[in-house]
A and B are shown apart, each in its own frame.
Chain A
Amino acid sequence: MLSAVVQALRGRQDIADWQARRTVSHERQVYALGARAPEAAREVDAEYVQVEVHHDHPAEGRACRGSARVTVPAGQLPATDAILDRAVFAASLVNNPPYGLPGPSPYPAVDTDDPVDLAAAVEELDVRLRRSVQGQRDIRLASAEFFAQRTQEEFANSRGTAGSATFSRFLTEIILVARDAGGAERETSGLWSRRRVADVAVEEWVEELSSRARDGLRAVLPDSGRYTVVLSGQTLPQLFEPFAFHASGRAVQMQISRFKVGQPWGEVSGDPLTLYSNGLLPFGDRSGAFDEEGMPSHCLPVVENNIVRHQLCTRQYADWLNLPATGPFANYQLPAGKVPFAELTAEPCLHLVDFSAFDADPITGDFVSEIRSGYVYDGCGRRPIRGGSVQGNVFDCLAAATYSAELCFLGNYQGPYGVRLSQLSVSGA
């Protein structure tokens, strides 16, 4: 299918440059219910080619380049020319400064595919889940969803760049409920995306969710106030999303980036920050041999010892801003800190392990989130808490952070398992 589309693109005189990507995917899905038969079982196949065309034209007395993206769905190959006509017309209306596309370049070898049988994999994960839940006291499985997908991609552009890659992805959602002797119930849930079955840690996740659910039964609302807060687990990648935005060529071009290459990212009083964008991380969620424009993936320091080293630019922004083309931010990678995790909670603090939704505003860095699960450490032990919210700003709080020595892998993040932040505001009792 890709070659037919490429042939059509090559035959056009009105297209200055183009890139095309064929995607073929197969997915198995199982929707499990606790004590019942599965709620649903699905199999999905899809195929399409996404095309971006570039059109050069003068506008307002200057040379301009416009682009537009279209899709040729499976079964619509005969309509390719008509679809490209629409794309060319759209691109001719777009007046951006000129920029180029990446030329051929060797691609690194990156592990992105677990060559397991998808049907067998979801079946095995379901069995492992049920066995794990049976081993937990006072816990029942409310529901679980397993999605196992394999995607094959082929890429080509008008500058002679070509590549192909295969990606597997295992998405797992687990919802557990704890029940006490009085009939009170508490729910915990998690959603994980991994590229290989070996990283789908069902038993570990069930253990963690079960423990949290049981603790939740006796959890209390935290007192309002300012606290030292320790964060761990799935929240950690979210903390760095504003860094990814401000380190992007897009933010520079919009004139709202707070970073400048060669300068400190902020006034840091805590552990120094080193943050890599790593597109080569084995089985990372955002890993791949090449990026959306067909540029080879890299592992690059974005911040090194608090100094901003790179603004990450696609080829388009690189040409506009006269910066090196690096591709977009990939997986977050941070080195280990110096303090064992146990020491992070040795002083009085709140250890917050789960939120309703932790979304830091990528532009301002502000966040406020409801606490789903956490613990108060007051020097005499730990007590579970739940409810209320924590409020802060990632740029402020990471300026005074302490990172744990233990590392963890969270799909799109490899770095310290925990981080201690100073003086966050908690709204509670």
Chain B
Amino acid sequence: MSQTEFEAATAGLRDLLPSLIADLEQAYPYAAAVVTDTAGLEVSVDTRKQTVNFRQPMRGTVFTVFDGRTVHELATSSWDPGELTRLAARLKGRALGLRPPLIEAGQPESGHHVGAALRPAESVPLDEKVAFCASTRAALAALDQRIVNAMVAYTEGTERKLFVNRSKVVSDEVTRVSARSIAFASDGGQARYYMTRAGGTGGFELAAFTPEELERVVKVAVDLLGAGKVDPGTYPVVVHPEVGGIIAHEAFGHGVELDMFLKGRARAQEYLGRQVAADLVSLVDDPSLPGAYGSYAFDDEGQRSAPTPILTRGVFLEGLSDFATSAALRAKRTANGRRQDFRRKAYPRMSNTFFVPGQTPVGALFEGIKDGFYLESGLSGMEDPKDWGIQVIAYHGRRIRNGKLTGDYITNVGITGFVPDLLMSIDAVANDFGLHPGGCGKGHKEFVPVSTGGPHLRMKARLG
């Protein structure tokens, strides 16, 4: 569905929903509705198989009411005005007793926002996208005969939403594009792979790899055939922004999502205004960052996006909220109320979470390290907000000896430890910056698109 179709299809709802919300607020102190439509495309070409699939559209409507204690929602895959009117009436019929005073609904706002793109994905012919995957795959496969399979995948997803409450009728359209190039190498016994990924919010222009990037994918995949494992221990470590970003996300992202405070699950609650990281460490969540994969103009609860300084010079300043947590905790509302899709509730969620760059040239981070590791690619991470443990898995790295990178590869390296210990150990922050697209779950579910990153960092970390 194109933007024009979305606007046409929801034109009637822009008139209907405000009246339904006003009616619901006769019974509840707060009501809102969000109409969503997500659609996308996945193209994949490997050495022996091609696929093109249109993603399952997540098209639906959610009515939200808050009775002062609990958020109640009815959600449906329908946009039919009659069905939505019946749904709102059902919700109103469940109200109990007298309505408490109305709750603040934010600054009045209206309008439609469309993310910028040089080549809007919907305007690019499908055969061009298939051809991009096929030609990139062919280039990748031709680089080394030890590559037994090469795969290039392209995905685009457009998320459209219309949010309505007492003060706002706002809509937003964001297109996320990503592309992956993966090389599978085999020595006849074991198989290894390596991948590079490009992406962000924007258009088809984001799906591009340089010849150097493809050469690196193949080289690393082949080199990893000889990779070893790290000997468990604590080492000086330089982390690439791809790994540092996961540290940012897991260390001081999830633990400051304010539903964790509401549930008594966050150790960070005790550290508001206190030093939790070295004073050269600053960390931000910013959904308004142009072009980043986790960006949006409004969150799923109508809040206009803006950066949140989580850590500034090592001090924990503020967390990430949604409507319900800011109401319950009387905390500042940030633009982090996000849902996986209309079938799930909104939670406080990260967007683009990153360390702020420092002053040190990247090369200088390696100087003085007698025996350590450079962790170059990230795989996954897991939060532990109550106990401030951290798990970050780097897919691969290389040994550093006497200030120089060696050709000794390691793979599947875990960083674990106590979050403040790790963040306090950061003794150099580089002056570069990179963001990496990815997905984020809350615990083991509720997946939303995010990006993570920052500069190269040097720290001491327990590896295993």
Contact = CB atoms under 8 A, between A and B. Distances in A.
Interface in B336-361: 342-343, 345
Nearest to B386: A187
Given A39-B262, A94-B50, A95-B50, A186 B387 contact: yes
Given A38-B70, A142-B265, A177-B265, A426 B464 contact: yes
Contact of B73 (A43, A253, A388): A43
A382 interface: no
A199 to B, nearest CB: 19
Contacts of A33: 262-263
A372 B443 CA distance: 14
Interface stretch (A11-19, A83-91, A282-290, A297-305): A83-91
Contact of B53 (A34, A68, A367, A391): A68
Interface residues of A, number: 81
Given A37-B69, A254-B184, A389 B391 contact: yes
A428 B232 CA distance: 8
Contact of B186 (A187, A255, A370): A255
Contacts of B265: 142-143, 175, 177, 187
Q: Which of B71, B126, B232 has the most CB of A within 10 A?
A: B232
B75 A94 contact: no
Nearest to A391: B464
Contacts of A187: 265, 384, 386-387
Nearest to B250: A356
A333 interface: no
A75 interface: yes
A357 B52 contact: no
The A contact surface, by secondary structure, is: strand
A254 B48 contact: yes
B46 interface: yes
Interface string A61-96: 000001111110111100000000011011101111
Contacts of A258: 190-191
A140 B264 contact: yes
Contact of A90 (B49, B126, B192, B259): B126
Indicate the size class of the contact surface on chain B.
Answer: 35 or more
Contact of A39 (B71, B264, B386, B414): B71
From B56, B57, B149, B264, residue with most partner A Cβ within 10 Å: B264
Contact of B414 (A36, A143, A391): A391
Given A90-B52, A96-B49, A34 B263 contact: yes
A356 B251 CA distance: 13
B389 A356 contact: yes
Contacts of B192: 363-364
Given A66-B52, A93-B126, A48 B70 contact: no
Contact of A40 (B50, B72, B232, B343): B72
B386 to A, nearest CB: 4
Interface string A18-56: 000000000101010110111111111111101000000
Interface in A377-408: 386-391
A361 interface: yes
A389 B414 contact: yes
B107 interface: no
A40 B70 contact: yes
A86 B380 CA distance: 35
B264 A44 contact: no
Contacts of A390: 464
Interface stretch (B77-85, B272-280, B306-314): B77-85
A314 to B, nearest CB: 12
B229 interface: yes
Closest 7 CB pairs between A and B? Answer: A427-B464, A427-B232, A370-B391, A187-B386, A356-B382, A368-B414, A356-B391
16 contacts: A39-B71, A42-B72, A46-B77, A71-B54, A143-B263, A143-B265, A225-B232, A254-B46, A255-B148, A258-B191, A361-B412, A368-B393, A370-B390, A372-B389, A389-B414, A425-B464
Given A34-B263, A254-B149, A386-B387, 14 more contacts: A40-B345, A42-B75, A45-B75, A46-B60, A66-B52, A68-B54, A69-B53, A177-B264, A254-B48, A363-B192, A387-B389, A387-B416, A387-B417, A390-B464
Interface of A: 27, 29, 31, 33-34, 36-48, 50, 66-71, 73-76, 86-87, 89-91, 93-96, 140, 142-143, 171, 173, 175, 177, 185-187, 189, 191, 216, 224-225, 253-256, 258, 320, 356-357, 359, 361, 363-364, 366-370, 372, 386-391, 425-428
